[in-house]
Structure 1
């Protein structure tokens, strides 16, 4: 979890909720006695910021780069002793699980504790994320956030956006989801739902957007 979510954890803790956060940026605030932080700052060593240079990378490089990096980070997170203790300890229980949308295999925490799943995104969600939860994601009206396109697309940009969506649909189904499913089996064990089914069981999706920065788009009531 990122710095942008600090106010959320702080407020939950101050209101009496016992909060356990797996984060790359711990607050280390001794005043928040209900907050337990598992420090994952070491994951920054696995991060390659160059994949976000969208004007300098091909679409395939963006897609494969995201898959590799976020899968490696999630594998690193789930390997941590503190995280494995949470997974394996039969006495541990949580009332709700909140997961960043990118860390799909971590949706299994909700299945592990048989509790509601809340999705989080610190910026506009990817088109594939909207599609997975049943929200409209038209490639021309609402091009993917990773494409450096304006609100009104030229004909060439429309074709590019449609091609990009088809490419992401293919790689998401045959590359990203199988990789995440293997992480679930590796760290949680067998007997868990398929990733596709976990997507359908979310309760709320919190997306950090602003209508001044992003065009208005249709959203489900729980987004």
Structure 2
């Protein structure tokens, strides 16, 4: 009985010692896939006993987390700015020249910046900023080509943690240290894999210079003005403080979470306040598959090929001839095909099954999953390494080309160029990966390397958030590079 009382006292003491912190997650990105990170942060922090407020354009999905300590700030009204016709496979096929590429980059960048302005102006966000009874111990904000969200930490006078959706690249690293060296570190929009030739090194340097000039010309002064206009009054209302200069706030991030891991990315020189936690949102044991999908996968004698182009670049936006050619290729395969396609197609081959939504983790985790045909987004590449499934990649844009080129270089993928006549190349790539066992073996090896770590990325995430709060911003981790004025 004494031992039982002693054990209960220890449990009680442990519970009392575990202080709950209040975290603000600012993840209003247009893309539904980006909410994967936001909800991952929320689940881990809630599971550790902390309170979480999340700013998201997808409030219904956030509320499905179903936790009493979760508060959702709905900014779905801002989605009206989204112009989906820019993000289609047809648009990419029509805009293949470099001049058109930069025109698209300029258009999409302006859209994202306008969206972030609208997010801050959103009435629900304004109500949060005006609520003087609310305090936060830390703000975690997604960096996506804009620095404005640093203002949230300024208003609530608490530490700021940046979250990079992709591997830590030169643009976001410059907020906490210095830009990565272009002599051996590729830009996220580049297709180069080191070691670089002289021409490739010059190209990486040129990309950095162009993007810096692009941001300076179009957005730097706008960010500063918006910071002063949108956050200044809220700091003034809270009293006893003046609004810090934007240049000071911009580089005041205490930590950077990088959605990466060297196994599928690149081994990089990182400062002490950059932590790689790629894959923290993945459940080691996914939820059970729906009965119809479970039956399809269990009965696939020759295995399953899973095909998904992600949540933005939808397969339904492919030209009709391209879809017909892909179906022709699939019809001649022994394997069962599960294709995430947002429309119904007539006269489907018997081995092809269309799903409008796919539980990706459950499919990749199934032992009969032989191959993943993907656009190569960072989430999909991370998940395929997590579960050890080889890849055929069809990159569309942004970081996808780099992700797939790295996967090819590491030996667990084949690449197919996006084009109107990709079907024949796709057939050859599928046959190569399925017939050559080295791809499957390499995928399993990399998966084992990924999982060989002292703690899970979710546990590491929670530890560093708590560490930042406990140490009042972790000043001991700050890089001396930030002390340089230029």
Once the two structures are superposed, the pairs formed by residues 156-195 of structure 1 within 5 Å of their partners are 156-189=199-232, 191-195=242-246
1:74 to 107, 116, 133: 116
Higher relative contact order (CA 8 A, sep 6+): 1
Pair 1:29-2:72 in alignment: no
Whether the 8 Å CA contact 1:51–1:66 is kept in 2: the answer is no
The answer for the alignment partner of 2:74 in structure 1 is: 39
The answer for the alignment partner of 2:43 in structure 1 is: 10
Q: Alignment RMSD, CA only?
A: 2.6
2:149 to 85, 106, 114: 106
SS of the counterpart of 2:232? Answer: coil
SS of the counterpart of 2:254? Answer: strand
Once the two structures are superposed, the pairs formed by residues 123-138 of structure 1 within 5 Å of their partners are 123-138=166-181
Which whole-Å deviations, capped at 9, do the CAs of 1:26-56 have from their partners, x for residues lacking one?
A: 3212630111112233444433564796965
5+ unaligned residues in a row in structure 1: which ranges?
A: none
5+ unaligned residues in a row in structure 2: which ranges?
A: 1-26, 28-34, 234-241, 275-486
Whether the 8 Å CA contact 1:24–1:39 is kept in 2: the answer is yes
Report the TM-score when normalising by structure 2. 0.42
Whether the 8 Å CA contact 1:126–1:146 is kept in 2: the answer is no
SS of the counterpart of 1:87? Answer: helix
Pair 1:97-2:139 in alignment: yes
Q: How much has 1:185 moved relative to structure 2?
A: 2.3
SS of the counterpart of 1:189? Answer: helix
The answer for the alignment partner of 2:270 in structure 1 is: 219
Whether the 8 Å CA contact 1:125–1:207 is kept in 2: the answer is yes
SS of the counterpart of 1:206? Answer: strand
SS of the counterpart of 1:20? Answer: strand
Whether the 8 Å CA contact 1:135–1:219 is kept in 2: the answer is no
Report the TM-score when normalising by structure 1. 0.86
What is the distance in 2 between the residues matched to 1:128 and 1:31? 35
Whether the 8 Å CA contact 2:138–2:161 is kept in 1: the answer is yes
What is the distance in 1 between the residues matched to 2:102 and 2:153? 31
Whether the 8 Å CA contact 1:51–1:57 is kept in 2: the answer is no
Whether the 8 Å CA contact 2:170–2:178 is kept in 1: the answer is no
Q: How much has 1:174 moved relative to structure 2?
A: 3.9
Q: How much has 1:66 moved relative to structure 2?
A: 4.9
Q: How much has 1:123 moved relative to structure 2?
A: 1.2
2:52 to 19, 22, 25: 19
Q: How many pairs are equivalent?
A: 223
The answer for the alignment partner of 1:210 in structure 2 is: 261
What is the distance in 1 between the residues matched to 2:166 and 2:106? 20
